[in-house]
Chains A and B, each alone.
Chain A
Amino acid sequence: MQNMNDSHAPPPSQQSADATSAAGTSAAASGERKFAQIPKESVRAHAESIGISEVPDDVAAMVAEDACYRLREVMQASCQFMRHAKRKRLTAEDFNRALRWSNVEPMYGHNSPDPMVFRPTKDAELYFYEDREINLTEFAMETILPRNPGETTVKAQWLVVEGRDKGAGSSPALSEELVQYYDQVTRAILGGNEQLIKTALADLRTNSRISALLPYFVYLVGEVKSISHDLEALTRLLQTAQALIQNPHLYLGPYLKQLVASVMYCILEPLAASINPLNDHWALRDYAARLLAQICRSGCMSVEGLQKQLLLALQKVLVDPARPLCSHYGAVVGLTALGSKAVEDVLYPQLGTYWPFLQSWMEDRTISNAQAKADAHRVQGALLSAAELLLKTYQQNGSEPHAESSHESSPNQSPQQPEASEFTIGTFGQLLESGGTAGSNSGSHRRDKGPVPITQMYADLYSFFGDSLAVRVGNGAPFVPAKEEESDQDAEPIVEAGSSAFPAVERADLPPMLSFAGNGQPMDLSSVPSTSDTTHTTGRRTSKRRQSSKESPKSKRARRAPSMSDIFSLSRASQRRRDIVVNIRGGRQVGKKKTKPGALLGAELSRLCRRVPFMGKRKKVKTLPGKVLQPSMGMLI
């Protein structure tokens, strides 16, 4: 027996690699069991090496059989040591430990974590482990010291905060893959390749391992302030923000505020892009407003603080006549997006003062005011939608205005995005109910009287909007402009000149262009499309206007505004003339034909693309970047 034990010290060791793999892989389904086999020849060779020659065949076979058995036994024991050390990889140390426990000398010199090289000799068919000699004097004399791995330390990280992934808790720094991922995704987003953008955004929405990158992406979205001239890029950044919000694995935490600030910027600020009337910054504002609604709806916002601030900010812009009309538009769509409760408590009380101010813009028929007038019509359209939302909510809930329920989507609030329209009236209702008025002074006294009955509200609103309101609310059927029937909500770019929410207003803004570009004859057609607005209610409105002129300080300040926008419109005019000339050459339908969305952005884009080398040749290398992008994402997914 002792003899047998001895016999399998060195020779089986050569087989240990095979045995490892055999023990490591669970029994093959085919039932074929591969175990280490030691041939008789090995036994004989080993016997010779220790001075026993002429081992009979049957003895050699028996010894080989027994050695195999013991080897298998040792392998099983060593697997147990691996399991208890809580590892997946079997080491030479495990094997030695098993040997020691079966009273066999362990094998020395195999403990390196590096793989052993098992290679054939050049001449004979003989395999051996490469075992180079190490010159110890070199080690002793030279100053080559093994690298000190450093003190073993414990590092604490948040892996998860309240059930949300806080990022790979054990990654000490931003890893190479993450940096690469960030690089690729930002390139894709800022580049023009639709396919790439879709892929990148889809991944941002679902990837569970990018929380370490969150601050970087938030910073990227914050760049809206520096590229406000580039509508397409703005839209992309908003889409990025949306993707981040939709990602269920991300804990936005302190970054939410920054994201909201970026979104609010797009809703409210007079973007550089809006200087050019052909830029459809309106659609961008609509989109941003929808996004805002989505953020609120996602519930990741602390209800008390941030939402109140939002309402205050929107209100502040609305009551400030010095702000350009596009900002007012933003405030109105923002409020509409926040739900009927916000409209009722903030917008509705302001309407009395705001409407005359708006009228003054709409009725100024001087040429220099043409653009501002068109803008005013837009604001009016937005107000109309807000009113519609309010009335519909009333209608649905009977006279209980704020029972929680979904309402029909108003045209402003994106028929494309049904969820957005169901945005929590409830949340806001509660907020306003409990937290008192969201800053609206004029709203507070109204509240005391309890809910306004629908008839009174309708009468109130009718006094402003006239029949156009009746058209929208009257028969209960939602008024959905034909143009708005696109469906894909998040992937489709919003910047499509002409897909604005308000056909009525659109019509209104064409005539001035015509009149300007045409034969010089001032053709005022504005009254034609908006007859319902103007003719029916002239009398009442004039009285209102008189009333508003009494509130002199405000309206005087408002009067000052045109001088500023005059400068704008002048600059616009020159630019526009060129465009229109082109349009006339193009054909008869001057007014209806819009310049293509990409036409003006093209230059900007290509400039952007130059910055990002990949995307510069986006047409040619359409498939290549996609391929490049995939693996790096795969690493993280």
Chain B
Amino acid sequence: MDQQTLAAVLQFLKNNKLKDAEAALRREAKLPDGSGDSGGSSRVATSGEVSSVLSAYESEGDLARYCEYYSSLSSFIESSLDAHKHELGCLLYPVFIHMYLQLVYNRHEKEAQKFFNRFSVEQEDWHQEDLRTLSTVKTREQMEVNDLMDTFRSSKFVLRMSRDSYQSLRRYLKQNEHRELLSILQDHLFIDVFDGVPRNREQVQATSGAMMGEARRDANKVKVLYGLPKEPDINVPLDDDDEGGDGEDKPKKKKQKKDLLLNKNKKADPNAPPPSRIPLPELKDADKLEKVLSWKEGLKRVPLGRENLPSICFYTLANAYQNVSAVGISEDSSLLAAGFEDSNVRVWSLSPQRLRTMRGASELDQLDKEADDIVERMMDEKTAADSWLLHGHTGPVYSTSFSPDREQLLTSSEDGTVRLWSLHTYSNLVVYKGHNYPVWDVQFSPTGYYFVSAGHDRVARLWGTDQFQPIRMFVGHYSDVTCVQYHPNSNYVATGSSDRTVRLWDVLNGNCVRVMTGHKAAVHTLAWSPDGRYLASAGVDKNVLLWDIAYGRLLAEMKGHTDPVYSLCFSREGSLLASGGIDNTVKVWDVQKVFEEIAGSDDLTSLDRASLVEVGSLLLGSFPTKATPVLKLHFSHRNLLLGCGRYQHN
């Protein structure tokens, strides 16, 4: 927290007569007691707290010459060596923005307009969206209430630059002595200088695009324990199942399988977090059985690769009066949940097993609780139906997520709440209020119990199903958090945002451990590779990006979609990536090729500079539907690709 913000917070506390909080903050910040105010806060006292911070824009310089300054900087960059040109070019956008805001703040509306019209066209395409927002800010009053403005004010724009480029910039500044320019660079920019070869145009472009520039190098230094923990010992239920169920016919076969299972378990991943790092729910017998079943199912998996493309089964929603805004498929591909814009949620069974509710209380009371098939007996056969409708939300449902045991469903909605539904009674169990603004995404952890939600309030929250308050808050995005994805080992959460960054958060301490820039528009979907090392992200900029979490670097950029991408999924063994969007196509990408490429050259020295792996086009297949947007993709245990969307007839 910088001094200015601190002063503003203190002033706010003082104004609202929160003396204890003020004193506590002062103690924490090791500031002298309230009586002896510094010069800065005395100025704060005279004006409102917001305008005090805005006053950073107050300038006595010759504002009319801003056009000249900007042109001079621009032509200096244009005439500098090719090697430095592209790195220095990144300066133009933040300088442009802050100059514009200074002009507006100092009530030079006419000059500001002229300045904006003259130079905004020179900015890169991906900045145009923010510029459009910014161009609506035309007066000082509007500055005070604009969110984006707020972001630019409170944070520094990050640039990375080689030492050579930085030196040439310094020479230029010394020669010209533009005081205003210098103060902008000092106050609002953070230039992260590294030693090495200046980056070329492609390298600079690959990581630029985020709202507040690139990630600082030190932001990605923390080691991430991305490996998968040892599978829990599930031999006991396997044996139980063996003896209890099938008799003596198959023990040999089972034993063999068990050995295989053991072999699989023995591989200890050096990058895996210790199992007790995050307290996880105990495995119930049913969970263990589930694990065994899914593993058995996995044995029948079709190997996929560039030679063997997947089969795609598409679930088309027909007769939906309202648009479908979210689709979820359970891990074992047996259930499908669709959220509609009319705030309903509907659950379908994709297997022959129809959906039943539990019997009434009086009937349940009469059941023999010790029976082996008690769960089965609890269900009322008469209620079996193909689908169930869940009413409760009061706004469009933006996301649905099944619990791993398929007994619960989470939904998030525009009404600012997350709801937990029971799939035994098809009724609402809990409403989690906390975001207070639209909740864009919600997802269960792979182990159940925990879940994470993200919303318009720029915060991602971690919850436990039995607590009505969040356990962790992941704060740091500059704009809406649009999507979340739990890491397969439950220790991390990845978030994507409309500030065009992807972040990784540690569940243990709530810290942001990775910031990845490169998207040129809002990120709307994320997917983890099965081994937990790689993350794919995509969104409104139509590109699918592949990241290496170990170093936080961009590996590949997959271009091909013609409309925003809303769904990503890795095949079960991780060799293929499927993407789908509202351009009504499913595309399949050969990510294995990238992994092979980097396995050969794990060059640590080049990791500072994000460099794309040169592998050519990765597109393996593009499969259009007739008129159905692809809202959800999911690989079944056997590597059958399931897709879902609503047929749009017109």
Contacts and interface: CB of A to CB of B under 8 A. Distances in A.
A84 B325 contact: yes
B136 A35 contact: yes
A69 interface: yes
A83 B626 contact: no
Given A27-B131, A149-B321, A159 B314 contact: yes
A161 B311 contact: yes
A169 interface: yes
A73 B624 CA distance: 36
Contacts of B341: 85, 93
Interface in A310-329: none
Interface in A444-487: none
Interface string B100-129: 000000000000000001001100000011
Contacts of B316: 154-157, 169-170, 172
A26 B133 CA distance: 12
Given A86-B629, A160-B312, A170-B628, A81 B524 contact: no
B540 interface: yes
A172 B498 contact: no
Interface residues of A, number: 49
Contacts of A33: 132, 135
Contacts of B325: 84-86
A145 interface: no
Interface in B277-322: 308-321
B346 A152 contact: yes
Interface in B126-177: 128-129, 131-133, 135-139, 141-142, 146
A368 interface: no
B635 interface: no
B621 interface: yes
Given A33-B132, A153-B319, A168-B626, A160 B117 contact: no
Interface string B467-497: 0000000000000101000000000000000
A170 B396 contact: no
Contacts of A27: 128, 131-132
Interface in A1-54: 23, 26-27, 29-31, 33, 35
B440 A158 contact: no
Contacts, number: 163
B386 to A, nearest CB: 8
Contacts of A97: 395, 414
A194 interface: no
Interface hub of A150, A160, A209 (most chain B Cβ within 10 A):
A160
A149 B319 contact: yes
A169 B482 contact: no
Interface string B411-449: 000100000000000000000000001101000000000
Given A69-B138, A154-B315, A83 B522 contact: yes
Interface string B513-542: 000000000101000000000000000100
Given A31-B121, A84-B398, A162 B346 contact: no
Nearest to B395: A97
Nearest to B399: A84
B328 interface: no
Contact of B623 (A30, A65, A154, A165): A165
Given A27-B131, A65-B138, A86-B631, A156 B315 contact: yes
A519 interface: no
Contacts of A158: 311-314
Contacts of B318: 150, 152-155, 172
A229 interface: no
Contacts of A209: 624
B538 to A, nearest CB: 13
A26 B311 contact: no
A84 B438 contact: yes
A151 interface: yes
A73 B136 contact: yes
Contacts of B645: 170
Interface string B29-40: 000000000000
10 contacts: A76-B133, A83-B524, A84-B414, A85-B325, A86-B629, A154-B348, A160-B312, A162-B310, A169-B643, A172-B318
Interface of A: 23, 26-27, 29-31, 33, 35, 65-66, 69, 72-73, 76, 80-81, 83-88, 93, 97, 101, 149-163, 165, 168-172, 175, 208-209
Given A29-B121, A163-B620, A168-B625, 9 more contacts: A35-B135, A72-B136, A84-B440, A85-B396, A101-B437, A156-B315, A163-B308, A163-B309, A175-B626
